[in-house]
Amino acid sequence: MNTRRTLLQTALGIAASELIGGKFGFAAPTATNSLAPQTSFDFAWLKGQARRLAITAYQPPQTVLPASLAALTYDQYQSMRFRAERALWAHEGLAFRLQFFPVGRSFSDSVRLHELIDGQSREILYDPSMFDFKNTGIDPGTLRGRAGFAGFRVQFVTNWKADVAAFLGASYFRAVGSDTRQYGLSARALAVDTALPRNEEFPRFTEFWFERPSKDSGTLTLYALLDSPSVAGAMRIQIAPGGTLVMDVEQALYPRKPIERLGIAPLTSMFFYGKNDRRGATDWRPEIHDSDGLSLWTGGGEWIWRPLVNPAQLRLNSYFDDNPRAFGLLQRDRNFDHYQDDGVYYDKRPNLTVEPKPGPHGGWGKGAVQLVEIPTSDETNDNIVAFWNPIEKPRPGQELLFNYRLHWGTHLPFTTALAQTIATRTGLGGIIGVKRTYYSWHFAVDFAGGELAGIPKDAHVEAVITASRGQTEHVTAHLVEEFGGYRALFDIRPEDNIEPIDMRLFLRIDGRPLSETWVYQWSPPSLKERKLLLQ
């Protein structure tokens, strides 16, 4: 997990910095080298390349990073700036520009980059003069032929000093909508064997192709080749910046061998602690997280909200479905006062929603949205992963096609008339002022939106709660005018073991639902810990 977060932290540090050279009124060389040969290219050809890779033995990257680059400190690597006047399309009058990340430090694997013009591909060749090395102590002349690109960043005409997306490290990428301008959680091209009792496999992008957009286009199309010991793949990604940035993804996968757990459209985030889970709350800030919940819109039309936790032990929860409509990791709480972080602004982190799209063979079929929660001791570790896991295990020789849309921003792409969960709080159960004779745990779940604001104060709104084990007590629901919604309260009295308890809760009136379904998994403490809490 440290490796995963290190990649993302470094990318964020570089992307957040101001660029060098803000004026473009003079002629300068672009990134593309005219000496590189041209070749024909289209997506069918790229899928053929991936298919051919999959029937050959996997070849790990052979990059040997020069010692001077491998020894860079975090600050030195971030100081190695790309020269803005060398950006791809910097002088073409287009709505997009691309800048490149250099290999160095933990980014030892280089990627090949290409520009596409009218179906012809030409490689972008690495040149040390593209970067400013003055704060690194490195002589750029020693790097010719010995270094390369680690990734790239995408900039849009609305603000040349800010990124709208960045691709860096394995198959990780991130983006922001213009309503946040703040990086947060990440997406990946693919997850392989996540949360199994062996090392996770991280497929990596090996090559990218950038299609030169027309002068009036607000969409950037890029292509990528993916490779790993278990699978090869081809992707087409179309990026449309806006208040909510949208990425349309077409993916073709070719397994080399059977894969036990395939993760499609994986999302990676961080949850250290929040209102519902303060087990690790040793910091002065009230809450620390990039996302606070998993949102699901099932194929059957049910809306589900699962608050995230920082568990004592690794957890894997599966939410089985048939042709899911959407899932995502969201930051619903956007109140600065709830975080008090004026450095990284957790209240401004973007949401990321996956919208599956029908492919040539229909929808995504049967499978499960799987949520992995990994214990973390601080905010520098990304410990949350969510992805779609098809029920059918991939086999060599197959072609697996997945189409989906990614929505990055604060506004959700879909709406519902149901109330949403806006807060989950927990604490010791029992009745205030009455001596506790047994252990129970209390939950307070707040719902707002939908019809709740217009319901008469004397209406009979009930909280419907089910639990996989244990006994629920003191179940109530009442109006809270301060936030214009309802608060559902209940205690759960566990059995004499520490088996996790799965709970489902929603609000109902006259037999019909008023809210989405709140789901939660709670692990009771040991019997010894319960006795201490009752003293």
Residue 113 Ramachandran class (φ > 0 left, ψ -120 to 50 alpha, else beta): beta
Residue 29: what pLDDT? Answer: 41
Identify the burial level of 22 via C-beta atoms within 10 angstroms of its C-beta, where 0-12 means exposed, 13-18 middle and 19 or more buried: exposed
Higher per-residue confidence, 170 vs 36: 170
Question: How far apart, in whole angstroms, are the C-alpha atoms of residue 169 and residue 61?
Answer: 13
Residue 33: what pLDDT? Answer: 56
Residue that has been written with the tokens 């109140």 in this structure: 335
Residue 13: what pLDDT? Answer: 52
Q: From residue 27, how far is each of 57, 89, 125, 129, 159 by CA, in Å? A: 46, 12, 19, 16, 21
Residue 35: what pLDDT? Answer: 56
Residue 135's pLDDT band, with cuts at 50, 70 and 90, is: confident
Identify the burial level of 89 via C-beta atoms within 10 angstroms of its C-beta, where 0-12 means exposed, 13-18 middle and 19 or more buried: buried
Percent above pLDDT 90 for the chain = 80
Question: How far apart, in whole angstroms, are the C-alpha atoms of residue 177 and residue 181?
Answer: 6
Q: What are the start and end residues of each CATH 2.60.40.10 domain in the chain?
A: 420-534
Amino acid (one-letter) located at 11: A
Question: How far apart, in whole angstroms, are the C-alpha atoms of residue 122 and residue 85?
Answer: 20
How many of the other CB atoms lie within 10 Å of CB of 361? 9
Identify the burial level of 97 via C-beta atoms within 10 angstroms of its C-beta, where 0-12 means exposed, 13-18 middle and 19 or more buried: buried
Whether domain 420-534 has CATH 3.40.50.450: the reply is no
Q: 2-409: what CATH class?
A: mainly beta
Closest C-alpha to 394, from 264, 255, 265, 250: 255
- Contact between 161 and 22 (Cβ < 8 Å): yes
Q: What is the DSSP letter of 42?
A: -
Closest C-alpha to 408, from 96, 184, 235: 184
Polymer length in residues for the chain: 535
Cα angle at 517 between 511 and 521, to 5 degrees? 130
Side-chain-facing half-sphere of 307: CA atoms under 13 Å: 30
Closest C-alpha to 182, from 290, 92, 272: 290
Q: Which tokens sit at 487?
A: 């608060």
Q: What are the start and end residues of each CATH 2.70.98.10 domain in the chain?
A: 2-409
Question: How far apart, in whole angstroms, are the C-alpha atoms of residue 103 and residue 22?
Answer: 24
Side-chain-facing half-sphere of 46: CA atoms under 13 Å: 27
Residue 484 Ramachandran class (φ > 0 left, ψ -120 to 50 alpha, else beta): left
Write out pLDDT tens, residues 397-430: 999 999 999 999 998 899 899 999 999 999 999 9
Task: Kindly tell me the number of DSSP H helices and DSSP E strands found in the chain.
Answer: 5, 34
Question: How far apart, in whole angstroms, are the C-alpha atoms of residue 89 and residue 16?
Answer: 21
Q: What are residue 413's phi and psi, to 5 degrees? A: -75, -15
Percent above pLDDT 70 for the chain = 93
Q: Which tokens sit at 71?
A: 């020894």
Write out pLDDT tens, residues 472-530: 999 999 999 999 999 999 999 999 999 999 999 999 999 999 999 999 999 999 999 99
Residue 19: what pLDDT? Answer: 29
Residue 32: what pLDDT? Answer: 52
Q: In what helix (H) or strand (E) does residue 269 lie, and over which residues does it extend?
A: strand 262-269
